Chains A and B, each alone.
Chain A
């Protein structure tokens, strides 16, 4: 069965500091994608960053970057220069068109 595991239910980071959220996955697919989604309180889920599994180069989007280790099936998200607006639930997801989501990590940003 395909699984996505986020082992950190909650993380805190000081404003302007860097934080890394962990995600491991298991899949039988040969071609797949990995995603991080952000879900602010009572707001819709938005895509933060996307990684194509066949590409070794780690994806980056402004302050957000990933560390993709395909052999280890690890896909962590690094947020640099954290801002108050980064506070949200973060979900890791794996798949192609149909995704398996992890249980999420709640990120708190401390002023």
Chain B
């Protein structure tokens, strides 16, 4: 297993365009998380899945954001009608259920909205 993979690593898009990011978690992990990290800040929780069920969404996740994990494996995060304020690093992480041993993070997708 190669850990948590995120694609693409970088994305530059024009304001108003839609973007989609992909995350492939560690195969044994049934929990998957999305966080957003802006410059000089720590990661902020966006949403998480247990298997294919989306169990919690942050109020940060406006209706322009949608996340899916259709078969309980990989996940996608889509941002519609991007705004400059969406520019950030989008981090994916995964973990097992049971005792909380912490996350394994991916390398992130850096989004720049111009």
Contacts and interface: CB of A to CB of B under 8 A. Distances in A.
Contacts of B103: 47, 99
B107 A99 contact: no
Given A43-B107, A46-B105, A97 B42 contact: no
Interface string A38-77: 0000011111001000000000000000000000000000
A59 B95 CA distance: 20
Interface string B1-19: 0001000000000000000
B42 A101 contact: yes
Contact of B102 (A4, A50, A100): A50
B91 A97 contact: no
B44 interface: yes
A28 to B, nearest CB: 16
Nearest to B110: A42
Interface residues of B, number: 22
26 contacts: A4-B42, A33-B100, A33-B102, A35-B102, A37-B105, A43-B107, A44-B105, A44-B108, A45-B43, A45-B105, A46-B105, A50-B101, A50-B102, A91-B43, A93-B42, A96-B100, A97-B48, A97-B100, A98-B45, A99-B45, A101-B44, A102-B42, A103-B41, A103-B42, A104-B40, A104-B42
Given A33-B102, A44-B4, A46-B105, 10 more contacts: A44-B107, A45-B43, A45-B91, A91-B42, A93-B42, A97-B48, A98-B56, A99-B103, A101-B42, A103-B42
Interface of B: 4, 31, 33, 40-45, 48, 56, 91, 95, 100-108
